[in-house]
Amino acid sequence: MAESSNRAAHPTEKAIQVFRLQGANCASCVNKIERAAKEVSGVEVATVNLADRTLSIRGDAEAAAVTAAVEAAGYGAEIVRASARELRERQRAEEQRHYHQLLWRAALALGLGVPLMGWGMITGEVGVNTTFQQVAWGLVGGLTLVVLVFCGGHFFSGAWRAFRHHGATMDTLVALGTGTAWLFSMLVVGVPQLLPESARHVYFEASAMIIGLINLGQAMEVRARGRTSAAVEKLLELQDVTARVMRDGEEVDVPLEEVQVGNQLRVRPGEKIPVDGRILDGSSTVDESMLTGEPLPVKKNKGDRLNAGTLNKNGSLLFEAEKVGAETRLAQIIELVKNAQSSRVPIARLADTISSIFVPTVMVLAIVAALFWFNWGPEPRAAHTLVVLTSVLIIACPCALGLATPMSVMVGVGKGAEYGVLVRNGKALQQASELTTLVVDKTGTLTEGAPKLTDIETDSDADELLMLLASLESKSEHPLAEAIVDAARDKKLALYDAENFEAVTAHGVRGRVHGKRVLLGNRKLMKRENIALEKWQACAEALSAKGRTAMYAAVDGELAGVIAVADPIRKDAKEAITRLKKLGLSIEMLTGDNQATAAAVARELGIARVHADLLPEDKEKIVGELQQKGTHVGMVGDGINDAPALARADVGFAIGAGTDVAIETADITLMRSSLHGVADAIELSKSTLRNIKQNLFGAFIYNILGIPIAAGALYPLTGILLSPVIAGAAMAFSSVTVVSNANRLRWFKPASVASDRKEAK
Amino acid sequence: MTVEILVNLLGLGAISGIIWWFWVAPKRPHAEAVAVEEKLRIHVRGGVYEPDRVRIKAGESATLHFIREDPTPCAEWVLFPDLEVSAQLAVNEETTVRLPASEVGEYSFHCQMQMYRGTLVVE
Ligand SMILES: [Cu+2]
């Protein structure tokens, strides 16, 4: 097979290959498998690790042969694939090799082309009139042929191979252009008498220069392209090579590929977490910014989740592996980013259609232009015909057109990953840039999603009242109760045991705490118990108007005060809403809460439109209605409860997926639980689309102007034709320009970041 | 005069040849598609996929094996835009690409720049 010969050519030192074994359970298997493996040619050392059922082979044996040998011995073996990172490194080396090869080719070709061009420009003697000139130029022609074969052979072989498949590529254009120039020159050298004296020119320098320049351009393109994948590379680098696994109470370093689900692992301060898992022992703060874009480190205790690739800051952790290999969140992110990076963007459809017929069209145009000059052009017609033919072929650049979109998407999507914005595909990216309306689910997005005690109003001691109420509520299972108990805990109040606890449905709770009769509930409860409300009624109503849930508290038959609970608004929500408005979006809020609560939150955040009292299925309907009005609707939700609405929207943003949502559900997934992520995503999509448009515009204009100029459109004005060498230079650098412009996106920074980073310090 | 007629005829011939070879000929039902099986390797080299017409069964997921022998960056990605599948191909390595179960039809696959082109026949 081709790949084995290629692999043998790699100058790797004796590689280690790891196989996962099946059916190896006992110590006696170890010997049998090792013996079988060692008999395979190329295997130098074979060791079986029974604990994790792996076989490690040192030497350059064929993986298939090892597998076969192990199977013959009665067991199963499967090669453990090289890690993505290792693969990447190999690709890097390959790229580097290719880069140097291109530079060499460029240098050689230019080494011939530049002196030839200099000669032509200084002496002006490129005509073939005498026998001596015939011989001399014949030699130069031979030399040029050598350059064409050595430095440009790949253009010719590629063109030929594509031709056989009815395809035409950039190689076709380069091969035809340089080939024609060379053949014409050889014709001049061989039988100059066929041509009028004024047309007896040779164009060897053009062939050599074009090959050199295009190689140089490609080398620069390889360089620039390498940078476009910098973001994925950064993510790949987050994957550690080894992990410290606990075996029989000892810490053993093993290659990452060998870590299995259920293994216990140790991470020390300052180390990266190798796989996804759950903390068994220890606590620490973990920097998750590389996955979520969240600048502040997160506190982690026993039972908390850890994600591969994040950085353990200051504590030693023992944890159990739950997901390894391709299952880890990091691996999934990488996969998603890669897929999105190469996906289609609708805006590029025209460019795609054009590039699929571009090359044959250019070939036809070149011939038409050449025939025009041949039939109607001024003398020397033969020379003009050739120059026009070559220039048109060479200047047309399908790559600029083809690269315009993919390169920008590549950089844009990768950049998003850096800020915890995962874009599902190019379509989502484009639609995000066109949104006019953003529908936001309130709970968990604008608010924390967990109610908190906001007010406690009383004439007597507030702490005392809170203590009584919290003691009572500690028996309750109502979500509001939790907020009151938490508030008491935060104040370090000691709680009593409540007696005769009773929950009165739709009213409140009552019971006996520390010998006192305590009541907590709404107006109806107080009425039922004949407790006068007058004293606190105004206060309670004021709190309700602010969107809080106010409750009356009574102690020993007397109204003691009012407390209020509310789902607090996220600290950054207001700022994010302002940003989104600045991006030209009209914002609408959705919530299952009542109108008063919803309106209060909306007022605080400056949101004009509110849809309250919604059932879960209403959300999708509202999105649909907005779409029918012709708006482009984005929907922000948590990805679990809002799935239908997210799917219905033009762009669904799943927020807070740093937790547990499958990252495939939404068009855009935000790893960070903040609305700023949505603003980041929209800013990014706008920048990326702008970049794509620049690239497409540039590529179109280049070809639309370049081809007529090469065809001689400027001749009536300037009296000269575009030199094929300049056409070659323009072509070589047009695609570099496109890639470089895409690379400018690497400097993209969402507006929020500057302020965030300041806070973090 | 004869030379001029000859050159013009040559040019017109070349134009019709190009139109025929690149536009008309590929549209005809041509060479059988190669069935995808365990051992099939699609080679990526010199501007083409070999084979460039592969066949899979409808309603079943399939796995393609690509071997990229061409280090030029154009060959780096293979896209199946209709199936929303793409893969980054490693140079001189085998890269497997999983395709979801799909409906009967012909789907094109190509590189980012559409220089490399192939057809996936689902039947
Ligand atoms: Cu080009």
Helix (H, G, I), strand (E, B) or coil at B120: strand
A-chain CB neighbours of B85 within 8 Å are 339
Q: Mean of the per-residue pLDDT values for chain A?
A: 81
- The share of chain A scoring above pLDDT 90, in percent, equals 5
Is A359 in contact with A168 (CB distance < 8 Å)?
A: yes
Q: According to the model, what pLDDT value does residue A11 have? A: 35
How high is the pLDDT of residue A82? Answer: 59
Best residue in B5, B15, B22, B54 to probe A by mutation, most A CBs within 10 Å?
B22
**Would you tell me the crossing angle of helices A462-473 and A479-490 to the nearest 10 degrees?**
130
Non-local (6+) Cβ contacts of A350 within 8 A are: none
pLDDT of residue A759: 46
> Nearest Cβ partner of B117 from A154, A161, A167?
A167
Amino acid A83: pLDDT: 61
CB B95 within 8 A of CB B68: yes
Instruction: Check whether A506 has a pLDDT greater than 80.
Output: no
Residue A157 Cα distances to A164, A248, A433, A503, angstroms: 11, 60, 42, 84
- With CA atoms as reference, the chain B residue closest to A402 would be B113
Distance from C-alpha of A495 to C-alpha of A528, rounded to nearest angstrom: 27
Please state which of the ranges A9-18, A665-674, B94-103 shows the lowest mean pLDDT. Answer: A9-18
Contact across the interface for A398 and B86, Cβ inside 8 Å: no
Q: Please list every residue in chain A whose beta carbon sits closer than 8 Å to the beta carbon of residue B116.
A: 169
Cβ–Cβ < 8 Å for A580, A440: no
Q: Which of B40, B109, B114 to mutate to test the interface with A (most CBs of A within 10 A)?
A: B114
Rounded to the nearest whole angstrom, what is the distance from the C-alpha of residue A186 to the centroid of ligand 1? 26
Distance between CA atoms of residues A177 and B2, nearest Å: 26
How far apart CA A382 and CA A42 sit, in angstroms, is 63
* Sequence-ordered list of residues with C-beta below 8 angstroms from that of A115, at least 6 positions apart, any chain: none
Question: What average pLDDT does the segment A656-682 reach?
Answer: 75
User: Under an 8 A CB cutoff, do B88 and A342 touch?
Assistant: yes
Taking the CA atoms of residue A222, residue A226, residue A227 and residue A229 in that order, the dihedral angle to the nearest 10 degrees is: 140
The tokens of A348 are what?
A: 């590029």
Residue A360 has pLDDT above 60, yes or no: yes
Q: Is the pLDDT of residue A377 over 80?
A: no
Q: What is the mean pLDDT of residues A111-132?
A: 77
Which of B30, B44, B113 is most worth mutating to test chain A (most A CB atoms within 10 A of its CB)? B113
Q: Please give the pLDDT value at position A202.
A: 80
Residue A441 annotated in active site: yes
Range A109-114 average pLDDT: 87
The 10s digit of each residue's pLDDT in A704-723 is: 888 999 888 888 888 778 88
Beta-carbon separation of B112 and A402 below 8 A: yes
Mean pLDDT across B50-55: 83
Nearest to A191 by CA among A123, A138, A147, A120: A138
Candidate list A60, A240, A276, A441, residue with the active-site label: A441
Are A275 and A258 within 8 A, CB to CB?
Answer: no
Spell out which residues have Cβ within 5 A of ligand 1, the ion.
A 170, 397, 399, 735
Q: What is the pLDDT of residues A683-699, one digit of tens each?
A: 999 999 999 999 999 98
A242-247, strands of its sheet edge to edge: A250-255, A242-247, A264-267, A317-323, A276-281, A305-306
The contacts of residue A13 (CB under 8 Å, 6+ apart) are none
Per-residue confidence band for A10, with pLDDT thresholds at 50, 70 and 90: very low
| Per-residue model confidence (pLDDT) at position A684 | 92
pLDDT at B1: 62
Of all residues in chain B, the one with the smallest CA distance to A8 is B92
CA proximity to A540, closest of A553, A551, A526: A551
Over the stretch A323-359, which tens digit does the pLDDT of each residue have? 887 778 888 888 788 778 777 788 888 887 787 788 8
Which residues of chain A lie closer than 8 angstroms to B7, CB-CB? 371, 374
pLDDT of residue A688: 93
Is the bond leading into A380 cis (omega within 30 degrees of zero)? yes
Cβ-based burial of A105 (10 A; exposed 0-12, middle 13-18, buried ≥19): buried
**Nearest residue, CB atoms, B73 vs list A101, A169, A221:** A221
**Residue A398 CA to ligand 1 centre (angstroms):** 6
CA A549 to chain centre: 42
ipTM: 0.83
User: Is B40 touching A (CB cutoff 8 A)?
Assistant: no
**Residue A86 confidence (pLDDT) above 50:** yes
pLDDT of residue A120: 77
Q: Do A446 and A547 meet the contact criterion of CB atoms below 8 Å apart?
A: no
Question: Looking at residues A657-665, what average pLDDT do you find?
Answer: 55
Query: Using CA atoms, how far apart are residues A533 and A536, in angstroms rounded to an integer?
Result: 6
Using the beta-carbon criterion (under 8 Å), do A222 and B4 form an inter-chain contact? no
Average pLDDT over residues A33-49: 81
Task: Give the pLDDT confidence of A202-240 residue by residue, as tens digits.
Answer: 888 888 888 898 888 888 888 887 777 777 778 877 877
Residue A97: closest C-alpha in chain B: B71
Whole-number pLDDT of residue A15: 59
pLDDT for A4: 37
For residue A2, the model assigns a pLDDT of 35
